[in-house]
Amino acid sequence: MAKIPTGALTTHVQQLPAGAAGGTVPEGEPPVVVLVHGLLTDSLASYYFTLGPALSAAGMDTVMYDLRGHGRSDRPATGYRLEDFVEDLALLLDGLGERRPVHLVGNSFGGTVAAAFAAWHPERTATVTMIESEPPVAAWAGHIADGLAHARRELVHQEAIDWIREHYGAHTARLSRTAGRILETTTLAEDVPAGRLIEDDLSALRCPLLAVFGGDSGLSAQVPELEAKLAECRTVVLPGQGHSVLVEQPGRTRNLVLEWVREHHARRTTAPAGAVV
């Protein structure tokens, strides 16, 4: 574990080099995978207990970090626009000395951050995997504004926390209480929906995109649009799953990400010099 300066803040990061989690180190330069978690109730821990060690064991340099305001990263009172999260990631990669194009895997809001990073830093992005996510377009901004406003109204009430504890357990209740504190003490709820967006036609997303959805979450309705607008897009819908795909289907998610990253890393390492992949 380490804390890396990222502008005026410090970001908590954990790296698992290829083979560090019990696998073998591959020949040649391994791919680097950066895991980006979701908002409010999430942290890098969700990846540490699901994808992170498996990716390392499979021969991939793996980076997990806490978003600003989350986990052990700094929690400023303001500065939560999407471009702030993207700049944090760029500065984190700089601080780690990482110059390879990265394979970004984002869960929920983390997928939105990953897509924005790919749009604004295409030269630094190999692929994007969005798990139960939306790209940062106008429709997303409306959805996230409504969701954050609802969370801020509800999570300040002890009755809501008690209901969460009764139905989802003490751990989820603690996470929800922390989310309420974040929303009370920062401008996150106002900032996130007001941030910079990409074009609705998704023309800024030029890297290969894997999108994984739960069939019952509603976000899978994006599949036809993503497949129509993006030059290289693979979509997977898991029947009977809601929004918690990463936690409830870690093995299936791991296999999808491994296959995707391996396929595109092989393309990059075998492509002729100067070729666009």
Per-residue pLDDT tens digits of the chain, which is 277 residues long: 699 999 999 999 999 999 886 666 667 889 999 999 999 999 999 999 999 999 999 999 999 999 999 999 999 999 999 999 999 999 999 999 999 999 999 999 999 999 999 999 999 999 999 999 999 999 999 999 999 999 999 998 899 999 999 998 998 899 899 999 999 999 999 999 999 999 999 999 999 999 999 999 999 999 999 999 999 999 999 999 999 999 999 999 999 999 999 999 988 776 554 454 5
Is 15 a domain residue? yes
Is 23 a domain residue? yes
CATH of residue 76: 3.40.50.1820
* Predicted local confidence at residue 272, as pLDDT: 57
Is 145 a domain residue? no
Is 224 a domain residue? yes
Is 25 a domain residue? yes
* Predicted local confidence at residue 115, as pLDDT: 98
- Total number of domains in the chain: 1
Is 90 a domain residue? yes
Is 185 a domain residue? no
Contacts of 263 (CB under 8 A, 6+ apart): none
- Mark out the alpha helices in the chain (DSSP H runs): 45-48, 52-57, 82-95, 109-120, 138-154, 158-168, 170-185, 188-191, 223-229, 245-248, 250-270
Host domain of residue 38: 2-135+203-268
Is 189 a domain residue? no
